[in-house]
Structure 1
Amino acid sequence: MRTKPDEKARKILQAAVEIFAQKGYQQAKISEIAKKAGVAHGSVYTYYKNKEELLYQMISAVWKQFSQKLHEISKAADLDPLQKIRKMVDATFDAFTGNPQLGFVVIKEHNELRKKGIDASKEEYLHLTKSFCRVYEQGVAEGFFNPGIKCETYFHFVFGGLYHIIHRWAYAPPSIDLEEAREQVQHYVQQSLLGG
Protein backbone atom coordinates (compact mmCIF):
# COMPACT_ATOMS: atom_id res chain seq x y z
CA MET A 1 0.00 0.00 0.00
CA ARG A 2 1.39 3.42 -0.99
CA THR A 3 1.75 6.15 1.59
CA LYS A 4 -0.38 9.25 0.95
CA PRO A 5 1.67 12.38 0.16
CA ASP A 6 0.56 14.27 3.27
CA GLU A 7 1.33 11.21 5.41
CA LYS A 8 4.80 10.97 3.89
CA ALA A 9 5.44 14.67 4.54
CA ARG A 10 4.32 14.20 8.16
CA LYS A 11 6.65 11.19 8.59
CA ILE A 12 9.57 13.20 7.20
CA LEU A 13 8.81 16.09 9.54
CA GLN A 14 8.54 13.78 12.56
CA ALA A 15 11.83 12.10 11.61
CA ALA A 16 13.44 15.54 11.33
CA VAL A 17 12.21 16.40 14.84
CA GLU A 18 13.84 13.25 16.20
CA ILE A 19 17.12 13.75 14.33
CA PHE A 20 17.32 17.48 15.17
CA ALA A 21 16.64 16.70 18.85
CA GLN A 22 19.28 13.98 18.87
CA LYS A 23 22.06 15.54 16.78
CA GLY A 24 21.18 19.22 16.54
CA TYR A 25 20.15 21.09 13.41
CA GLN A 26 23.70 21.79 12.21
CA GLN A 27 24.87 18.18 12.48
CA ALA A 28 21.71 16.57 11.07
CA LYS A 29 21.78 15.23 7.52
CA ILE A 30 18.89 14.89 5.10
CA SER A 31 19.98 11.29 4.44
CA GLU A 32 19.53 10.47 8.15
CA ILE A 33 16.10 12.07 8.18
CA ALA A 34 15.07 10.10 5.08
CA LYS A 35 16.29 6.84 6.60
CA LYS A 36 14.45 7.52 9.87
CA ALA A 37 11.26 8.36 7.94
CA GLY A 38 11.59 5.23 5.81
CA VAL A 39 11.63 7.17 2.54
CA ALA A 40 14.07 7.59 -0.31
CA HIS A 41 16.57 10.43 0.12
CA GLY A 42 15.13 12.31 -2.87
CA SER A 43 11.60 12.08 -1.45
CA VAL A 44 12.49 14.59 1.26
CA TYR A 45 13.08 17.23 -1.42
CA THR A 46 9.66 16.53 -2.94
CA TYR A 47 8.08 17.96 0.19
CA TYR A 48 10.74 20.24 1.66
CA LYS A 49 13.18 22.42 -0.25
CA ASN A 50 15.99 21.85 2.24
CA LYS A 51 16.85 21.27 5.90
CA GLU A 52 16.11 24.92 6.68
CA GLU A 53 12.55 24.58 5.41
CA LEU A 54 12.06 21.47 7.57
CA LEU A 55 13.11 23.47 10.63
CA TYR A 56 10.95 26.42 9.61
CA GLN A 57 7.87 24.21 9.11
CA MET A 58 8.18 22.50 12.49
CA ILE A 59 8.72 25.77 14.39
CA SER A 60 5.99 27.56 12.46
CA ALA A 61 3.50 24.74 13.16
CA VAL A 62 4.10 24.91 16.91
CA TRP A 63 3.65 28.68 17.00
CA LYS A 64 0.51 28.56 14.82
CA GLN A 65 -1.14 25.95 17.04
CA PHE A 66 -0.12 27.91 20.13
CA SER A 67 -1.47 31.17 18.71
CA GLN A 68 -4.75 29.52 17.71
CA LYS A 69 -5.16 28.04 21.20
CA LEU A 70 -4.66 31.42 22.90
CA HIS A 71 -7.09 33.01 20.45
CA GLU A 72 -9.73 30.39 21.33
CA ILE A 73 -9.16 30.92 25.05
CA SER A 74 -9.44 34.70 24.67
CA LYS A 75 -12.82 34.32 22.94
CA ALA A 76 -14.27 31.66 25.29
CA ALA A 77 -17.62 32.97 26.57
CA ASP A 78 -17.79 30.46 29.44
CA LEU A 79 -14.57 31.62 31.15
CA ASP A 80 -13.97 34.71 33.25
CA PRO A 81 -10.73 36.69 32.70
CA LEU A 82 -8.90 34.99 35.60
CA GLN A 83 -9.75 31.55 34.25
CA LYS A 84 -8.60 32.63 30.80
CA ILE A 85 -5.24 33.81 32.17
CA ARG A 86 -4.69 30.47 33.93
CA LYS A 87 -5.55 28.59 30.75
CA MET A 88 -3.20 30.81 28.73
CA VAL A 89 -0.33 29.96 31.07
CA ASP A 90 -1.23 26.26 30.74
CA ALA A 91 -1.34 26.56 26.96
CA THR A 92 2.10 28.16 26.90
CA PHE A 93 3.66 25.36 28.90
CA ASP A 94 1.81 22.72 26.86
CA ALA A 95 2.82 24.22 23.51
CA PHE A 96 6.52 23.75 24.23
CA THR A 97 6.57 20.81 26.65
CA GLY A 98 3.66 18.64 25.46
CA ASN A 99 5.97 16.99 22.91
CA PRO A 100 9.39 17.22 24.61
CA GLN A 101 11.47 16.44 21.51
CA LEU A 102 9.65 19.00 19.39
CA GLY A 103 9.72 21.56 22.21
CA PHE A 104 13.46 21.06 22.59
CA VAL A 105 14.06 21.59 18.86
CA VAL A 106 11.86 24.70 18.76
CA ILE A 107 13.53 26.25 21.80
CA LYS A 108 17.08 25.27 20.86
CA GLU A 109 17.10 25.77 17.10
CA HIS A 110 14.81 28.77 16.51
CA ASN A 111 17.83 31.07 16.62
CA GLU A 112 19.37 29.23 13.66
CA LEU A 113 16.61 30.71 11.50
CA ARG A 114 16.71 34.11 13.18
CA LYS A 115 20.43 34.41 12.40
CA LYS A 116 19.41 34.24 8.73
CA GLY A 117 16.69 36.85 9.15
CA ILE A 118 13.89 34.26 9.17
CA ASP A 119 11.46 34.40 12.08
CA ALA A 120 9.01 31.52 12.16
CA SER A 121 7.11 33.08 15.06
CA LYS A 122 6.92 36.83 14.41
CA GLU A 123 3.36 37.01 13.07
CA GLU A 124 2.09 34.51 15.60
CA TYR A 125 3.69 36.44 18.45
CA LEU A 126 1.70 39.50 17.40
CA HIS A 127 -1.46 37.39 17.52
CA LEU A 128 -0.51 36.09 20.98
CA THR A 129 -0.14 39.65 22.22
CA LYS A 130 -3.56 40.60 20.83
CA SER A 131 -5.21 37.56 22.44
CA PHE A 132 -3.67 38.33 25.81
CA CYS A 133 -4.60 42.02 25.61
CA ARG A 134 -8.17 41.08 24.68
CA VAL A 135 -8.41 39.13 27.96
CA TYR A 136 -6.72 41.92 29.91
CA GLU A 137 -9.16 44.51 28.52
CA GLN A 138 -12.08 42.23 29.38
CA GLY A 139 -10.68 41.88 32.89
CA VAL A 140 -10.39 45.66 33.30
CA ALA A 141 -13.90 46.22 31.95
CA GLU A 142 -15.34 43.63 34.34
CA GLY A 143 -13.41 44.96 37.33
CA PHE A 144 -11.01 42.04 37.69
CA PHE A 145 -7.71 43.63 36.70
CA ASN A 146 -5.67 46.69 37.57
CA PRO A 147 -6.36 49.24 34.81
CA GLY A 148 -2.92 50.85 35.15
CA ILE A 149 -0.98 48.15 33.28
CA LYS A 150 0.34 48.73 29.76
CA CYS A 151 -0.80 45.45 28.28
CA GLU A 152 1.78 44.90 25.52
CA THR A 153 4.74 45.69 27.77
CA TYR A 154 3.33 43.44 30.48
CA PHE A 155 2.83 40.58 28.00
CA HIS A 156 6.40 40.86 26.66
CA PHE A 157 7.72 40.82 30.23
CA VAL A 158 5.64 37.84 31.37
CA PHE A 159 6.07 35.82 28.19
CA GLY A 160 9.81 36.46 28.19
CA GLY A 161 10.08 35.07 31.72
CA LEU A 162 7.88 32.11 30.94
CA TYR A 163 9.81 31.32 27.77
CA HIS A 164 13.05 31.51 29.79
CA ILE A 165 11.72 28.90 32.26
CA ILE A 166 10.81 26.62 29.36
CA HIS A 167 14.21 27.28 27.78
CA ARG A 168 15.96 26.17 30.98
CA TRP A 169 13.76 23.07 31.09
CA ALA A 170 14.65 22.21 27.48
CA TYR A 171 18.38 22.27 28.24
CA ALA A 172 18.23 20.63 31.66
CA PRO A 173 14.85 18.93 32.29
CA PRO A 174 15.65 17.66 35.80
CA SER A 175 16.45 21.20 37.00
CA ILE A 176 12.87 22.47 36.47
CA ASP A 177 9.73 21.00 38.04
CA LEU A 178 7.28 21.97 35.30
CA GLU A 179 4.14 21.53 37.38
CA GLU A 180 5.52 23.66 40.20
CA ALA A 181 6.69 26.29 37.70
CA ARG A 182 3.27 26.29 36.02
CA GLU A 183 1.46 26.86 39.33
CA GLN A 184 3.86 29.59 40.41
CA VAL A 185 3.60 31.45 37.11
CA GLN A 186 -0.20 31.28 37.22
CA HIS A 187 -0.16 32.64 40.78
CA TYR A 188 2.32 35.46 40.05
CA VAL A 189 0.57 36.56 36.87
CA GLN A 190 -2.82 36.53 38.54
CA GLN A 191 -1.57 38.48 41.57
CA SER A 192 0.20 41.09 39.46
CA LEU A 193 -2.90 41.67 37.35
CA LEU A 194 -5.14 41.98 40.40
CA GLY A 195 -2.76 44.30 42.27
CA GLY A 196 -3.92 47.85 42.77
Structure 2
Amino acid sequence: MNKKEQQAKNTKKVILRAAEELFSVKGYESVKIRDIAQKAGYSHSTIYVYFKDKEHLLQELTLPPLLRLSKKMEETLQDPYLKPLQKLKGVCKDFVDFALNNRSMYSILITIGAERVDVNPNLEMNVARNLLFKHLETAVKNCLQITDENEKLLCSRIFFFNLHGLIMTYIYKEESIDQLYQRVMPILEKSVAFLIAGMDVGGDQDES
Protein backbone atom coordinates (compact mmCIF):
# COMPACT_ATOMS: atom_id res chain seq x y z
CA MET A 1 0.00 0.00 0.00
CA ASN A 2 1.51 3.32 -1.07
CA LYS A 3 1.34 6.58 0.87
CA LYS A 4 -1.72 7.88 -1.01
CA GLU A 5 -3.66 4.66 -0.43
CA GLN A 6 -2.76 4.66 3.26
CA GLN A 7 -3.89 8.27 3.59
CA ALA A 8 -7.21 7.43 1.92
CA LYS A 9 -7.68 4.46 4.26
CA ASN A 10 -6.98 6.62 7.31
CA THR A 11 -9.36 9.34 6.11
CA LYS A 12 -12.12 6.79 5.64
CA LYS A 13 -11.54 5.45 9.16
CA VAL A 14 -11.79 8.94 10.64
CA ILE A 15 -15.06 9.57 8.80
CA LEU A 16 -16.54 6.25 9.92
CA ARG A 17 -15.49 6.89 13.52
CA ALA A 18 -17.11 10.34 13.44
CA ALA A 19 -20.30 8.89 11.95
CA GLU A 20 -20.44 6.16 14.59
CA GLU A 21 -20.11 8.68 17.42
CA LEU A 22 -22.79 10.96 15.97
CA PHE A 23 -25.20 8.13 15.14
CA SER A 24 -24.79 6.80 18.69
CA VAL A 25 -25.54 10.14 20.34
CA LYS A 26 -28.01 11.84 17.99
CA GLY A 27 -29.52 8.90 16.11
CA TYR A 28 -29.09 8.04 12.45
CA GLU A 29 -32.02 10.08 11.14
CA SER A 30 -30.92 13.28 12.89
CA VAL A 31 -27.36 13.28 11.59
CA LYS A 32 -26.53 15.08 8.35
CA ILE A 33 -23.50 14.58 6.13
CA ARG A 34 -22.35 18.08 7.09
CA ASP A 35 -22.42 17.05 10.77
CA ILE A 36 -20.18 14.09 10.01
CA ALA A 37 -17.80 16.26 7.99
CA GLN A 38 -17.52 18.78 10.82
CA LYS A 39 -16.96 16.06 13.41
CA ALA A 40 -14.31 14.37 11.27
CA GLY A 41 -12.56 17.64 10.46
CA TYR A 42 -13.05 17.40 6.71
CA SER A 43 -15.00 19.36 4.15
CA HIS A 44 -18.52 18.35 3.16
CA SER A 45 -17.31 17.38 -0.31
CA THR A 46 -14.58 15.11 1.10
CA ILE A 47 -17.21 12.78 2.57
CA TYR A 48 -18.65 12.20 -0.90
CA VAL A 49 -15.25 11.20 -2.24
CA TYR A 50 -15.45 8.08 -0.06
CA PHE A 51 -19.19 7.56 0.42
CA LYS A 52 -22.00 7.98 -2.09
CA ASP A 53 -24.50 9.03 0.57
CA LYS A 54 -25.38 8.53 4.24
CA GLU A 55 -26.89 5.11 3.55
CA HIS A 56 -23.64 3.95 1.95
CA LEU A 57 -21.78 5.21 5.00
CA LEU A 58 -24.18 3.30 7.26
CA GLN A 59 -23.52 0.11 5.30
CA GLU A 60 -19.76 0.50 5.60
CA LEU A 61 -20.17 1.01 9.33
CA THR A 62 -22.56 -1.87 10.04
CA LEU A 63 -21.48 -4.64 7.68
CA PRO A 64 -18.18 -5.73 9.33
CA PRO A 65 -19.60 -6.23 12.86
CA LEU A 66 -22.72 -7.95 11.47
CA LEU A 67 -20.58 -10.38 9.49
CA ARG A 68 -18.43 -11.10 12.57
CA LEU A 69 -21.57 -11.92 14.55
CA SER A 70 -22.85 -14.12 11.73
CA LYS A 71 -19.59 -16.07 11.73
CA LYS A 72 -19.77 -16.54 15.51
CA MET A 73 -23.37 -17.81 15.34
CA GLU A 74 -22.48 -20.14 12.48
CA GLU A 75 -19.59 -21.59 14.49
CA THR A 76 -21.98 -22.25 17.38
CA LEU A 77 -24.43 -24.02 15.06
CA GLN A 78 -21.67 -26.18 13.60
CA ASP A 79 -20.21 -27.25 16.95
CA PRO A 80 -20.50 -31.08 16.85
CA TYR A 81 -20.39 -31.36 20.64
CA LEU A 82 -23.52 -29.27 21.25
CA LYS A 83 -27.05 -30.67 21.23
CA PRO A 84 -29.91 -28.74 19.55
CA LEU A 85 -31.09 -26.91 22.67
CA GLN A 86 -27.51 -25.98 23.57
CA LYS A 87 -27.02 -24.59 20.08
CA LEU A 88 -30.18 -22.51 20.35
CA LYS A 89 -29.07 -21.12 23.70
CA GLY A 90 -25.63 -20.57 22.22
CA VAL A 91 -26.74 -18.49 19.23
CA CYS A 92 -29.05 -16.48 21.52
CA LYS A 93 -26.10 -15.81 23.83
CA ASP A 94 -23.95 -14.84 20.84
CA PHE A 95 -26.56 -12.27 19.83
CA VAL A 96 -27.01 -10.85 23.34
CA ASP A 97 -23.24 -10.74 23.87
CA PHE A 98 -22.89 -8.77 20.63
CA ALA A 99 -25.61 -6.35 21.73
CA LEU A 100 -24.14 -5.73 25.18
CA ASN A 101 -20.70 -5.12 23.72
CA ASN A 102 -22.11 -2.70 21.13
CA ARG A 103 -24.64 -0.93 23.34
CA SER A 104 -24.33 2.51 21.78
CA MET A 105 -24.69 1.14 18.25
CA TYR A 106 -27.11 -1.77 18.74
CA SER A 107 -30.23 -0.13 17.31
CA ILE A 108 -28.28 1.22 14.35
CA LEU A 109 -26.61 -2.12 13.68
CA ILE A 110 -29.81 -4.16 13.88
CA THR A 111 -32.82 -1.98 13.05
CA ILE A 112 -32.01 1.17 11.04
CA GLY A 113 -32.95 0.61 7.41
CA ALA A 114 -33.91 -3.01 8.11
CA GLU A 115 -36.16 -4.91 5.70
CA ARG A 116 -38.46 -7.87 6.23
CA VAL A 117 -36.71 -11.20 6.73
CA ASP A 118 -39.08 -12.99 4.34
CA VAL A 119 -38.19 -10.87 1.29
CA ASN A 120 -35.00 -10.51 -0.72
CA PRO A 121 -33.11 -7.52 0.73
CA ASN A 122 -31.74 -4.73 -1.42
CA LEU A 123 -28.82 -3.73 0.79
CA GLU A 124 -25.77 -5.75 1.83
CA MET A 125 -26.27 -4.88 5.48
CA ASN A 126 -29.77 -6.36 5.30
CA VAL A 127 -28.42 -9.50 3.65
CA ALA A 128 -26.16 -9.80 6.71
CA ARG A 129 -29.02 -9.04 9.12
CA ASN A 130 -31.22 -11.65 7.46
CA LEU A 131 -28.38 -14.16 7.75
CA LEU A 132 -28.39 -13.62 11.52
CA PHE A 133 -32.09 -14.39 11.55
CA LYS A 134 -31.51 -17.50 9.42
CA HIS A 135 -29.01 -18.77 11.99
CA LEU A 136 -31.60 -18.27 14.73
CA GLU A 137 -34.25 -19.91 12.55
CA THR A 138 -32.02 -22.95 11.99
CA ALA A 139 -31.42 -23.33 15.72
CA VAL A 140 -35.15 -23.06 16.48
CA LYS A 141 -36.08 -25.51 13.73
CA ASN A 142 -33.60 -28.08 15.03
CA CYS A 143 -35.21 -27.95 18.47
CA LEU A 144 -38.81 -28.21 17.31
CA GLN A 145 -40.91 -30.57 15.19
CA ILE A 146 -41.64 -27.98 12.52
CA THR A 147 -42.28 -28.88 8.90
CA ASP A 148 -44.46 -25.93 7.93
CA GLU A 149 -42.37 -22.97 6.69
CA ASN A 150 -44.81 -20.36 8.01
CA GLU A 151 -44.79 -21.98 11.44
CA LYS A 152 -40.99 -22.07 11.44
CA LEU A 153 -40.87 -18.37 10.58
CA LEU A 154 -43.42 -17.54 13.28
CA CYS A 155 -41.54 -19.43 16.00
CA SER A 156 -38.24 -17.85 14.96
CA ARG A 157 -39.78 -14.38 15.09
CA ILE A 158 -41.03 -15.08 18.61
CA PHE A 159 -37.47 -15.92 19.66
CA PHE A 160 -36.08 -12.82 17.97
CA PHE A 161 -38.65 -10.54 19.60
CA ASN A 162 -37.82 -12.12 22.95
CA LEU A 163 -34.11 -11.41 22.40
CA HIS A 164 -34.69 -7.89 21.15
CA GLY A 165 -37.04 -7.05 24.01
CA LEU A 166 -34.60 -8.38 26.60
CA ILE A 167 -31.75 -6.40 25.06
CA MET A 168 -33.73 -3.16 24.84
CA THR A 169 -34.76 -3.50 28.49
CA TYR A 170 -31.15 -3.48 29.71
CA ILE A 171 -29.01 -1.95 26.99
CA TYR A 172 -29.26 1.64 28.22
CA LYS A 173 -28.69 0.84 31.89
CA GLU A 174 -25.75 2.65 33.50
CA GLU A 175 -24.02 -0.57 34.49
CA SER A 176 -20.83 -2.33 33.52
CA ILE A 177 -20.79 -5.19 31.03
CA ASP A 178 -20.13 -7.66 33.85
CA GLN A 179 -23.11 -6.38 35.84
CA LEU A 180 -25.36 -6.62 32.81
CA TYR A 181 -24.20 -10.17 32.10
CA GLN A 182 -25.09 -11.19 35.63
CA ARG A 183 -28.59 -9.80 35.20
CA VAL A 184 -29.34 -10.69 31.58
CA MET A 185 -27.90 -14.17 31.09
CA PRO A 186 -30.03 -15.99 33.71
CA ILE A 187 -33.14 -14.39 32.19
CA LEU A 188 -32.01 -15.46 28.73
CA GLU A 189 -31.48 -19.06 29.87
CA LYS A 190 -34.94 -19.25 31.44
CA SER A 191 -36.73 -17.51 28.59
CA VAL A 192 -35.29 -19.88 25.97
CA ALA A 193 -36.31 -22.87 28.08
CA PHE A 194 -39.82 -21.48 28.64
CA LEU A 195 -40.35 -20.70 24.96
CA ILE A 196 -39.21 -24.14 23.85
CA ALA A 197 -41.41 -25.78 26.50
CA GLY A 198 -44.40 -23.80 25.24
CA MET A 199 -43.90 -24.86 21.64
CA ASP A 200 -44.16 -28.22 19.90
CA VAL A 201 -40.92 -29.67 21.26
CA GLY A 202 -39.09 -32.36 19.37
CA GLY A 203 -35.62 -33.84 19.27
CA ASP A 204 -33.27 -34.51 22.15
CA GLN A 205 -33.53 -31.73 24.72
CA ASP A 206 -31.34 -33.43 27.34
CA GLU A 207 -28.16 -31.43 27.93
CA SER A 208 -26.66 -33.88 30.39
Q: 1:120 to 1:90 in 2, by over 3 A?
A: same
**Residue type of the partner of 2:131?**
H
Give the conservation status (yes or no) of the 8 Å contact 2:73–2:135: yes
SS where residue 26 of structure 1 aligns?
A: coil
Aligned positions of 1:30-41 closer than 5 A: 30-41=33-44
Q: Over aligned residue pairs, what C-alpha RMSD do you find?
A: 3.4
1:75 maps to 78
Question: Does 2:46 match 1:48?
Answer: no
Q: Which residue of 1 aligns with 2:134?
A: 130
Secondary structure of 1:110's partner? coil
For residue 156 of structure 1, report the CA deviation from its aligned partner: 0.8
Distance 1:193 1:17, change over 3 A: same
Moved over 6 A (4+): 117-120
The answer as to whether partners of 2:76 and 2:91 remain within 8 angstroms in 1 is yes
Question: Which ranges in structure 2 are unaligned for 5 or more consecutive residues?
Answer: 116-120, 202-208
| TM-score, length of structure 2 as denominator length | 0.68
Unaligned runs of 5+ in 1: 139-144
* Whole-angstrom distance in 2 between the partners of 1:54 and 1:168: 28
8 Å Cα contact 1:70/1:91 also seen in 2: yes
Deviation at 1:34, TM superposition (A): 2.7
Q: In structure 2, what is the equivalent of residue 110 of structure 1? A: 112
> Is the aligned partner of 1:156 residue 2:192?
no
- Whether contact under 8 Å (1:85, 1:186) holds in the other structure is no
TM-score by length of 1: 0.71
Match of residue 101 from structure 1? 104
Q: 1:42 to 1:90 in 2, by over 3 A?
A: same
The one-letter code matched in structure 1 to 2:145 is: P
Identity of aligned residues (%): 23
Q: Residues 134 and 158 of structure 1: is their aligned pair in 2 closer, same or farther, counting only changes over 3 Å?
A: closer
Query: What is the CA-CA distance between 1:137 and the residue it aligns to?
Result: 5.2
Deviation at 1:62? 3.8
> Take 2:27 and 2:45, find their aligned partners in 1: how far apart are those partners?
21
One-letter amino acid of the structure 2 residue matched with residue 18 of structure 1? E
